[in-house]
């Protein structure tokens, strides 16, 4: 009896997971195969860019730190360079960071900056072993064009590492105003 109940719960979970992948507006059973979300302006991508990026990082991440701001700035630069828009999910973003905070905070800034998310698999984390190896790679999902590598400037990283909590706000404000070339370098790589 317990096995039958467990199988029923599993079937319900599978149905719920598959229901998310139905075409928008389609009823149960109307899909053929699994339909995934598509890039661009459509029902899958109805999110809106935050009016206040600072407040959105705070809401999403719990606080705002210089690594979040760096991620937001890189995300905004990536959208500009690819002539894309927030939440259109046209880009793939891979963030290469050590798997510990504060480095991983870069991911949440990238999410707020681009509208991409780890759940949609268009924002991913890859592990590196040292802070000096940190970079973000961005390319178009359709495989066209080049890949952009955003590498934080070593001087900027030194200025934000191991800082006391009471300095975070000032560092964030400085990072938000700083010219991009002082925050990160941009390298174009052919596919």
Q: Which helix (H) or strand (E) holds 175?
A: helix 168-177
Opening angle at CA 35, ends 94 and 9, nearest 5: 95
What local confidence, expressed as pLDDT, does residue 1 receive?
52
What local confidence, expressed as pLDDT, does residue 126 receive?
97
Task: Name, in order, each residue with C-beta under 8 angstroms of 33's C-beta and a sequence gap of 6 or more.
Answer: none
What local confidence, expressed as pLDDT, does residue 48 receive?
86
Asked whether the whole model's pTM tops 0.85, one would answer no
Domain 45-189 fold: 60s Ribosomal Protein L30; Chain: A; (3.30.1330)
Q: Spell out the domain ranges in the chain.
A: 2-36, 45-189
What local confidence, expressed as pLDDT, does residue 33 receive?
55
Q: Which residues of the chain have pLDDT under 70?
A: 1-37
């Amino acid at each position: 009896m317990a096995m039958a109940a467990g199988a029923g719960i599993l079937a319900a979970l599978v149905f719920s997971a598959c229901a998310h992948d139905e075409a928008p507006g389609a009823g149960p059973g109307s899909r053929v195969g699994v339909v995934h979300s598509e890039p661009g302006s459509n029902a899958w991508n109805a999110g809106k860019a935050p009016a206040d990026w600072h407040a959105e990082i705070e809401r999403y991440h719990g606080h705002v730190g210089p690594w979040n701001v760096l991620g937001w700035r890189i995300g905004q630069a990536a959208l500009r360079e690819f002539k894309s828009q927030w939440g259109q999910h046209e880009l793939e973003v891979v963030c290469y960071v050590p798997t510990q905070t504060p480095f991983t905070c870069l991911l949440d800034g990238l999410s707020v900056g681009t509208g991409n998310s780890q759940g949609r698999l268009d924002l991913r984390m890859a592990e590196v072993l040292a802070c000096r190896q940190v970079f973000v790679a961005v390319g178009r999902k359709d495989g066209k064009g080049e890949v952009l590598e955003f590498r934080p400037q070593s001087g900027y990283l030194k200025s934000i590492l191991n800082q006391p909590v009471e300095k975070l706000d000032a560092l964030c404000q400085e990072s938000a105003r700083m010219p991009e070339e002082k925050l990160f370098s941009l390298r174009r790589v052919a596919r």
